[in-house]
Chains A and B, each alone.
Chain A
Amino acid sequence: MERIQQALERVKQPQVQQGEVVTASSSLRDTVPDPIRYSGTKTRPSNLEDLVARRVLTSDQHSPFVDAYKILRTQVLHRLKEHRWNVIGVTSPGAQEGKTIVAVNLAISLALEPNHTALLIDANLRNPQIHQLFDVDNYGLADYLLDQVSVSELLIHPEIDRLVVMPAGGPVKNSVETLTLAKMTTLVQELKHRYTSRIVVFDLPPVLDTADVIGIAPRLDALILVVEEGKTTEKRIREALASVRETVPVLGVVMNKAGRLSGGVSS
């Protein structure tokens, strides 16, 4: 019941959100973004403990896990700055290799740095997961692309500074066609150029099992390939890299779930 009510509310106030976004974008000229400028965006209070349980970063306190993302963030930022890129996709050769967690945590990590804002978009229309992580309704990209819902309605601020999330919506069956709609190009272009210090992170489906990544790749600046230690085979890494080589530059690879067998690290 509550969810339906929220959805109804969202449908009722599209203008307000749109306006808010525009104002926010005008104020983005400053190097230091205003932390409370998402007041127009739907704010979803997050249960921190739940997030921790789902391996989502909640703070920048020292811990091996957090530090690893800090390093990743630095590396990514360094390369993006070099090429003046700001739209990256996070994918992996196969499913269940942790690309969503990496995408989410990278986005959070980016957002935690005061110089940037981050927009996390779940582009995995087949098996959307981000809404589950943040425990929000599954309205998002698919709704924008297929159902003409405005972007501002779909954005959610999960009470983490400088982070906005867009769930996937769906799931949809013909995800490739959906992702390659002209509307998608427009959206990406708009998001890319609206805020200079914003970095857009797409959580993508696996490279090898679907054609989704190939379809959306030309619209992205770069890809990050997540591989899982002890699971992703070398062959699949090579194949994944080869399949996207012609369409989009790959920023680098990330080794995920390192040291799982030795118990990993605790937060």
Chain B
Amino acid sequence: MSESFQSLEFCLDIVRRRRLLIFFVGVCLFALATAVAILWPPTYRSTATILIIEQEVPSDFVRSTITSYADQQIERIKAQVMSRSRLYPIIEEHNLYEDLREHDTSAAALEEFIDDIRIEVMSADVVDRRTGRPTQATIAFTLSYEGSAPYITQKIANELTTLFLNENLKNREQQVQQATAFLKQESEKLANSLQQFEKKIAEFKNKANGALPELFQMNMQLLSQVERELIEKNQQAQVQEERILYLEGELARRKSELQIKPDGSLSLREQLKALRHQYASLASHLSQEHPDIIKLKGEIEALEGIVGKPSDSRELSEELKNEELKLSKLLEKYGDDHPDVIRARSTIVLLKEQTTDTTSSGSDSEDDNLYDPTYVTLMTQLATAKTTFAHLSASKKRLEKRVSEYAARVELTPEIEPTYQALVRERDNAAKKFQEYRSRLLEAQVAEGLELERKGERFSLVDPPSLPEEPIRPNRKAIIFLGLVLALAGGVGSAVLAESLDDSIRSVDRLRAIAKIPTLGVIPYLSTREEQRARIRARSLFGVGALVLTAVSLVMIHVFWLPLDVIWYTALRKLRIG
């Protein structure tokens, strides 16, 4: 307790000792601070608040093609706006930073200008709808400009705001238009390639000639159907064949029935035939005048008179052929003059004559049977059966051809399938992609409409730059307060400094410690009456002097600088007291 008291006493002592120093340093610092506070040129700030409005149509319905976040956009626009080409005209138009432009480069002025523009983003804590996590969303930003004159400051802030908003609109329009154009181009490209694929597939189908995998099932069905038909036809043909055979058999039987009379003798025709054979064989080795020959001739003529001339040219030609064959064989063995050869030759000549005779006579050997109704019926049936058979075999041939055709198709199908499938797949892919782009393009067109109609996310000026009434800097009160603190601190500091530099003895304790000999006494300072009087005089003089000085300086300020009342109200206003 006593120590702290002592130290307090000590401090007070120091203050008392150094009061003049403290006073002067303090007053000087305070005066300086006050001067700074009053003389510091004011800086005004005009601020525009721009709200970022979300798109009005819910994004579930129309999704904008602009996906960057608001603050990204702000940054981008900032970069675009803060360019020399945009800002320098403003500087020139409003004649800003005249000093800098005169004494420094225009770049310095520009830099200063950019420095005076401030963009601050306001964000709010929100919960992301998709992820459910709390995030920060930019909901608005302020654009402010700081200048030395309120009107100019507001004007510049206004211009900057306009620049900013226009830039944003332009940006967004450009962006959506670019997106739409790109999508359009892409979908056109895709349509083209899709067409190409379609063409290719058509060609392929043409070439494949029905062997397409998609027709495989049908081909199979057709194949089996045709096969079935073929089998059917075969059966029918067989039946017809059998019938023909049967009918022919019947016919033959009937014929022979007609030739062999019921008594068992040969028919006249057969007799004639047999006589002719006999004649032929006799004529080969007997002369014509032989009685047998003449007899035979007479018999044949008689018979021919009944039956008619031998009409069976077929038989004659067969005989002719046989004779010719015999002749060639004989010629191999004998010479031309051999009697067998001569005989054969004359037979052939005879036969040839007979042949020409029969063809010229043209009589039908069957004529005899035409008069038999059974035979005729059989003949008719046979003819029908034959016709049917011919039809059947024709259709069989047709069916066989078709079967082979279908079989070929079915066989070919697996071979061409991969190529075809690949083609189809490519086409499908292209089609899908095309569809996708198509729908995207539509969306983008809607989004473009959204932007052009100003219904998308946009910057809305909620608070246009106002005319700043109060400067933001300097905070004169704060400066004065700081000056006060500084004055106190400086005073105390200077006192401490003086004290630390001053080595003079202050206390009896210290004296005792240094001298190491007893302190005999402490004589207080006796101030004489003279001194007291002098002090009082000095004080009153000082007071009067200060008053006079103040009065004189006030009068001088009033006369030479500004009327005092004006200063007073200015000071009050600057300090925001009035």
Contacts and interface: CB of A to CB of B under 8 A. Distances in A.
Interface residues of A, number: 48
B520 A76 contact: yes
B528 A253 contact: no
Contacts, number: 122
Interface string A225-267: 1011111111101100100000000111111111111111111
B577 interface: no
A224 B13 CA distance: 27
A171 interface: no
Contacts of A257: 523-525
Contacts of A76: 520
B293 to A, nearest CB: 200
Contact of A72 (B503, B523, B527, B529): B523
B558 interface: no
Interface of B: 13, 16-17, 503-506, 508, 510-511, 514-515, 517-530, 532
A252 B523 CA distance: 14
A261 B503 CA distance: 17
A84 B558 CA distance: 77
28 contacts: A54-B528, A68-B521, A68-B522, A68-B523, A79-B518, A105-B523, A227-B511, A229-B525, A230-B505, A232-B504, A233-B504, A233-B505, A234-B504, A253-B519, A253-B520, A254-B522, A255-B508, A255-B511, A255-B519, A257-B523, A258-B523, A259-B525, A261-B17, A264-B524, A264-B526, A265-B525, A265-B526, A267-B528
Contact of A69 (B503, B517, B523): B523
Interface string A4-22: 0000000000000000000
Contacts of B532: 266
A252 B505 contact: no
Given A237-B515, A255-B521, 19 more contacts: A65-B524, A69-B523, A98-B523, A102-B523, A224-B520, A228-B505, A229-B525, A230-B17, A231-B504, A233-B504, A234-B503, A235-B503, A251-B520, A254-B522, A255-B508, A255-B522, A262-B16, A263-B527, A265-B524
A241 B524 contact: no
Interface in A27-69: 52-55, 64-65, 68-69
A75 interface: yes
Q: Is the interface of A mostly helix, strand, loop or mixed?
A: mixed
Contact of A250 (B505, B517, B528): B517
Given A230-B506, A234-B504, A253-B515, A265 B527 contact: yes
A71 interface: yes
A251 B517 CA distance: 8
A91 to B, nearest CB: 13
Interface in A191-249: 224-225, 227-235, 237-238, 241
Contacts of A263: 527
B514 A254 contact: no
Contacts of B522: 68, 254-255, 258
B517 A241 contact: yes
A53 B518 contact: no
A101 to B, nearest CB: 8
Nearest to A55: B526
Given A235-B503, A261-B17, A253 B526 contact: no
B503 A254 contact: no
Nearest to A231: B504
Given A230-B17, A252-B520, A253-B515, A237 B505 contact: yes
